[in-house]
Amino acid sequence: MDQQTNHSEVMALNEKGVYTFRMGELFSGPGGLAIGASLASTQAGRIVHQWATDYDMDTCRTYALNVAGDENAPSVVHGDIRTLDYEVLAALGHIDGLSFGFPCNDFSAVGERKGFDGEFGPLYTYGVKALKRFRPSWFLAENVGGIRADGGATLRQIFGDMIAAGYRIYPHYYKFEKYGVPQARHRMIVIGVRDDLDVEYKVPSPAPYSDIDVSAGRALDGIPAWAANQEFTRQSSTVIERLEHIPMGGNAWVDSMPEHLRINTQTKLSSIYRRLDPKKPAYTVTGSGGGGTHIYHWTEPRALTNRERARLQTFPDDFVFKGTKESVRKQIGMAVPPKGAKVIFEAILNSFAGVGYESVEPSLNNYIPK
C-alpha cells in the first residue's frame, strides 16, 4: 500500500472514529511518550505502540513491562542505534507515526555543549534515517531547549535535514508547567507532517490548562503505599544538617549556612541541595543525583524518592520502573512527562482529523531554513 493511499484510509477511518495510529519509537526511554500517546484519545482516534528501541537494558525492561505489557515483549528492541539494522524494526510492523527523543547530553545547558562534535550530537541523524526508511505520516522529535545556544546553527541544520527527508515541520519550545505538569520542564519539540499530506499541525495553546494546580505540594500528595520505587536515599549526617539550614525553595548558598557546612566551589549551581517550594512547580527533574543534585523535600531533610520524582514527571502510580535505584533515577530524569506528551499527541490526532482546537504560533519558526 503506498503512503498516499494509506493516508486516504486514515482520514476515512478517522471519520468513523475507529482509526488507530501505530507508533514506532527510537531512543524510547522508559515510556513517557508512549504513555502520553496511550492517554491521548479524541474523536480522531488513538495511538498505540507498534515497536520501540533503546540502548539501555533497564530502560527497555521498563518500557516493555508498562507499555507492551510484558517485560520481554519482542516489540521492544534493545540495541545501539548506531549499529541497529532498521529491517529488524520493519519486520515488527508498519508505523503511521514515529517518535524520537534523541539524547540531549551534548546540547544540554548542564553539559559541556559539544553539540555535533560530541558522542550524542549526531544521534538525531538516525531519526532522520528512520523517516526516510519508514515514511510515517507524522513524527515527534524532542530535545532540550539548550540546543538553541549556538545562535541557532544547530537547529537550522537539524530542521533542514528533517525538511529534506520530506516533512513540513512545526518546532516549538514547550514549557510543560503551562500544560498541567508540576515541573518547570522546558523542551524543544518538533512535529513533522509528511509533505505530500494535506494536514496542518497547530501548536496547542496552554490556556485550557491554566487552572490546573501544578504545585509540587499537590503533586506529591497521597502517594499510595503500594506504588513501587519508593526506596529512600541514604543521607549523611552532614547533608541532613545542611538541609536543615535551607528554607523551602532555597539551596546550599543561603547566607545563613554555617561555615562548616558551606560548599567550597566557584560554580554555584542553583540546583545544589535545592529544596522544593510546595506552592510552586518543581524545578527540572534530571537523571543526576550526586553532589547535591537530588531534588530535596521542602520540610523533611532528605532527597525525594524515585516515586516522588515520577509523580513530578506525571507517570501514573501503577507504572513500575525496573533496575537499580540509580538506574531508575536516570530513567525518570530523561523521560518526557506523559501528561505533557498527551496534550501534543491529542493535537496531532485532531490535526489529522481536521478538528479545530485552541492553538498558538510555533515559537521556533525563525530557525527553519528558508
Q: What is the pLDDT of residue 144?
A: 67
> Is the pLDDT assigned to residue 75 strictly greater than 60?
yes
Catalytic residues: 104
pLDDT value at position 148? 66
Which whole number is the average pLDDT over 66-94? 97
Amino acid at 41: S
* Residue range 3-211+336-367 in CATH 3.40.50.150: yes
Q: Name the packing angle between helices 338-353 and 32-39 (round to 10°).
A: 50
Would you list the domain boundaries of the chain?
3-211+336-367
In degrees, rounded to 5, the angle at the alpha carbon of residue 31 between the alpha carbons of residues 175 and 181 is 25
End-to-end Cα, the chain, rounded Å: 33
Q: What does the pLDDT read at residue 13?
A: 53
Asked if the model's pLDDT at residue 111 lies above 50, the reply is no
Q: 282 with 337: CB under 8 angstroms?
A: no
Per-residue pLDDT of 282-306, as tens digits, reads: 999 998 877 888 999 999 999 999 9
What pLDDT, in 10s, does the model give residues 121-172? Answer: 478 889 999 999 999 999 999 986 666 666 788 889 899 999 999 999 999 9
pLDDT in tens, 1-28: 344 434 544 444 545 555 789 999 999 9
- Residue 146, pLDDT score: 60
Cα–Cα distance between 189 and 337 in angstroms, integer?
A: 13
- Distance CA(259)–CA(279), nearest Å, equals 30
pLDDT per residue over 305-334, tens digit each?
999 999 999 999 999 999 999 999 999 999
More confident residue, 106 or 286: 286
HSE-up (13 A, CA, CB side) for residue 286: 20
Contact partners, residue 87, CB within 8 Å, separation at least 6: none
C-alpha 41/C-alpha 243 separation (Å) is 43
Do the strands 97-100 and 76-78 form a parallel or antiparallel pair, or are they unpaired?
unpaired
Could you give the CA distance from residue 20 to residue 58 in angstroms, rounded to a whole number? 29
The label of the residue with cell 525563525 reads 366
| Per-residue pLDDT reduced to its tens digit, 264-280 | 887 788 889 999 999 99
Q: Which segments of the chain are extended strands (E)?
A: 20-26, 41-42, 45-54, 76-78, 97-100, 138-144, 167-175, 186-194, 203-204, 359-360
Q: Residue 4: count other Cβ atoms within 10 Å of its Cβ.
A: 11
* 191: helix, strand or coil: strand
In the prediction, which pLDDT does 120 show? 43
Phi first, then psi: what are they for 91, rounded to 5°? -65, -15
> Of 36-50, 100-114, 202-216, which has the strongest mean pLDDT?
202-216
Q: How far is CA 345 from CA 8, 82, 100, in A?
A: 20, 27, 13
